């Protein structure tokens, strides 16, 4: 194991895959010489040149559409959309094109592209740079959706995403780039579609992903001191959803809380809660609780921004409320 930052782990994944497969290439804004706003692609332009690390104009819709086209002719493009908020400019290319082409072509065409982007609140960037919009992709058949929380997951899942033959939406979190964690020294892959029990427990199951995994682990550590052992499951991949791991855990613990930063209304938490109810009703000792972002755009001021997303205290209180 080596310690590295989340962003370094992402860079390593890109580097290894570009090394391995000459058909992998990167496209995005100021990702080349400048190495990207969050420094994920630093050094790759120097190593792979301008044919494979491509700076684009501010034309998200079309360069994402171009990734679809490049994927259709056999490449494996990885596009970077600076903020998931800006992914709203590429919804046609993702929802109507990337997600549909294999289907409408009856399997003739494949779109093995990855759209890397980044979301979440916490830096005072206000309403157009702080959203959590994964639910919009989660609902679209034909897309895979990955949201890693740790450097190791970031590396292993990004590699798998690049090798996957479906379009993969890969959403990072702005507060995670500088976090550190152990990553295997040898090359490794983490399969898409597998959740991970990040902390085992028996009293309740906390189901979460991305940055909220860290908060759930903190909450679990706190609760442990009170003698409450909660299991923390990091989904890692949201679509396809690892229902098996979730059902298995909930059947053991009898209680579940879904935690995410995105707004509660219409968030993926509702889908997961409903699925658990439908499939494990008799094993549950009470309703599945959702702890999620408030139903509001994110404000600029840090104090009120903080009030928009779940805190460790809220998670703790939520768990206590259902025991």
Partner 1 sequence: MALTPPAGDPAPIAEPILLGIYRNIYATRRFELTCIELYRQGHIRGYLHPYLGEEAVAAGACAALRPDDYIVSTHRGHGHCISKGADLSLMMAEITGKATGYCRGRGGSMHISSKQVNNLGANGIVGGGIPIAAGAAMGIMVRQTDQVVVAFFSDGASNNGVFAESLNMAGIFRLPVIFMLENNHYAVSTPIECATGCCDLAGRGPAYGVPGICVDGNDAVAVYHETLRAAGRARRGEGPTLIEAKTFRHGGHHVNDPGLYMDPQALAEWKARDPLTLMKQVIADPSKTRIIETEVESELEAAVAFALRSPEPDVAEFIAGIPEH
Ligand X SMILES: Cc1ncc(C[n+]2csc(CCOP(=O)(O)OP(=O)(O)O)c2C)c(N)n1
91 near a second copy, judged by CB under 8 A: yes
Quick check: helix, strand or coil at residue 55? strand
Q: CB of 113: closest distance to a second copy in angstroms?
A: 17
Is 112 or 201 the residue whose CB approaches partner 1 more closely? Answer: 112
**Which helix (DSSP H) or strand (DSSP E) does residue 119 occupy?**
strand 114-119
Phi, psi of 234, deg, nearest 5: -95, 115
What is the distance between the alpha carbons of residues 34 and 32, in angstroms, rounded to a whole number? Answer: 5
Given 129, 173, 211, 260, the catalytic residue = 129
Binding of residue 100 to a second copy (CB under 8 A): yes
Residue 89 binds ligand X, judged by CB under 6 A: yes
Nearer to partner 1, 96 or 285 (CB): 96
Please choose which of partner 1, ligand X, a second copy, none residue 287 contacts, taking the beta carbon within 5 to 8 angstroms, the exact cut-off set by kind: a second copy
Instruction: Report DSSP letters for 143-211, one per residue.
Output: -EEE---SHHHHHHHHHHHHH-SS-EEEEEETTTTT-EEEE-SS-----TT--EEEE--SSEEEEE-TT
Distance CA 41, CA 26 (A): 9
Distances (CA, A) of 184 to 9, 36, 123, 188: 10, 25, 30, 7
269 binds, among a second copy, ligand X, partner 1, none (CB under 5 to 8 A by kind): a second copy
Distance CA(5)–CA(154), nearest Å, equals 10
When the beta carbons of 101 and 154 are compared against partner 1, the nearer one is 101
Q: Whole-number minimum distance, CB 166 to partner 1, in Å?
A: 10
Instruction: Write down the least CB distance from residue 58 to a second copy, Å.
Output: 12
Contact (Cβ atoms closer than 8 angstroms) between residue 131 and residue 85 = yes
Residues 210-269 that bind a second copy (CB under 8 A): 239, 241, 262-269
Q: Which token pair is 298?
A: 């994110």
Number of residues that bind ligand X (CB under 6 A): 6
Residues binding ligand X (CB under 6 A): 29, 58, 60, 82, 86, 89
Residues binding a second copy (CB under 8 A): 61, 85-86, 88-89, 91-92, 94-96, 99-100, 103-104, 126-128, 131, 133, 135-136, 138-142, 239, 241, 262-275, 277-278, 281, 286-290, 295-297, 299-300
């Amino acid at each position: 194991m080596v310690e590295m930052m989340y962003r370094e782990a992402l860079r390593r994944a890109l580097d290894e895959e570009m090394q391995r497969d000459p058909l992998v290439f990167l496209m995005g804004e100021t990702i080349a010489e400048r190495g990207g706003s969050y420094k994920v692609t630093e050094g790759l332009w120097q190593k792979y040149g301008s044919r494979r690390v491509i700076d684009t104009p501010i034309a998200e819709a079309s360069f994402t559409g171009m990734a679809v086209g490049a994927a259709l002719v056999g490449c494996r493009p990885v596009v970077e959309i600076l903020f998931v908020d800006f992914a709203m400019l590429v919804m046609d290319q993702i929802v109507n094109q990337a997600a549909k082409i294999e289907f409408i072509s009856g399997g003739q065409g494949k779109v093995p592209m990855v759209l890397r982007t980044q979301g979440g609140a916490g830096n005072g960037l206000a309403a157009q740079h702080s959203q959590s919009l994964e639910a919009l992709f989660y609902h679209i058949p034909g897309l895979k959706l990955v949201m890693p929380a740790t450097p190791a997951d970031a590396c292993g899942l990004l590699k798998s995403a690049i090798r996957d033959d479906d379009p993969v939406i890969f959403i990072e979190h702005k507060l995670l780039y500088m976090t550190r964690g152990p990553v295997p020294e040898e090359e490794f892959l983490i399969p898409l579609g597998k959740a991970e029990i990040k902390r085992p427990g028996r009293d309740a199951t906390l189901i979460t992903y991305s940055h909220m995994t860290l908060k759930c682990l903190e909450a679990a550590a706190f609760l442990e001191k009170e003698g409450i052992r909660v299991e923390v499951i990091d989904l890692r991949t949201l679509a396809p959803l690892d229902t098996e791991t979730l059902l298995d855990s909930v059947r053991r613990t009898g209680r579940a809380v879904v935690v995410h930063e995105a707004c509660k209304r219409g968030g993926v938490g509702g889908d997961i809660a409903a699925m658990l109810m439908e499939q494990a009703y008799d094993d549950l000792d009470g309703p599945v609780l959702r702890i999620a972002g408030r139903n509001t755009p994110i404000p600029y001021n840090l104090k009120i921004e903080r009030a928009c997303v779940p805190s460790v205290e809220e998670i703790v209180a939520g768990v206590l409320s259902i025991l």
